[in-house]
Amino acid sequence: MINPFHLLDAIKPSGIQIKYILINNMENLADKKQLFMAAAIEEAKIAYANDEIPIGAVIVKDDKIIAKGCNRNRELNNPVKHAEIICIEEASRVLNNERLIDCELYVTKEPCAMCSGAIVHARIKRVIIGAEDEKYGACGTVLNVCGNKALNHVPDVEFGVLREEASLLLKAFFKGKRY
């Protein structure tokens, strides 16, 4: 398979040097999961540029992205505005439906308990995750909200799609913040 990713250096206004991931020849991608995760990473880059924790997400239905978003907590002074919540709200508007039947959520980092709860309530079919979250992950790493068979709806969960690329911005962000 052709590697669709080129890593280029980029300098942020903060002076932190990061690797930007550019998508090339997307139509040649054999793996749709990588394509959609790359779109989520593009969203995470927007968060990074806005000095937000760089997590991005997209929601896909019938192989089309119907919603995308990134963390906007600081911008909106709102602790619930995680990328996944923003995406779920947008997809619900687009589909004019509170339930996102047959939708897939791609997110660069494992959803927290709040977002995992929203994913279950939205009846999202599958969650595809870049990197695990050792502190807040609620898809099996710290808690198991997504994938908990005691709940009414159990989305499929898959880890590790573009794990390294998805982690890149997070590493750069937290290195710069030193926390």
Query: Which of the residues are catalytic?
Result: 84
Q: Which is nearer to Zn ion, 35 or 127 (CB)?
A: 127
> Which one of residues 67, 86, 105, 115 is an interface residue with Zn ion (CB under 5 A)?
115
Nearest in space to 82 (alpha carbons), one of 101, 163, 74: 74
CB 139 within 8 A of CB 110: yes
> Which one of residues 40, 103, 112, 118 is an interface residue with Zn ion (CB under 5 A)?
112
Other C-beta atoms within 10 Å of 73: how many?
A: 15
CB of 114 to Zn ion, least distance (A): 5
Nearest in space to 69 (alpha carbons), one of 61, 59, 79, 80: 59
Question: Does 157 engage in binding with Zn ion (CB under 5 A)?
Answer: no
Is the torsion defined by CA of 115, 120, 122, 123 positive or negative? Answer: positive
Ranked by CB distance to Zn ion, the top (closest) residue is 115
Q: Which is nearer to Zn ion, 115 or 146 (CB)?
A: 115
CB 58 within 8 A of CB 68: yes
Q: Which stretch binds Zn ion (CB under 5 A): 106-114, 117-125, 127-135, 155-163?
A: 106-114
- Please report, as residue ranges, which positions from 24 to 83 form the binding site for Zn ion (by CB under 5 A): 82
Residues that bind Zn ion (CB under 5 A): 82, 112, 115
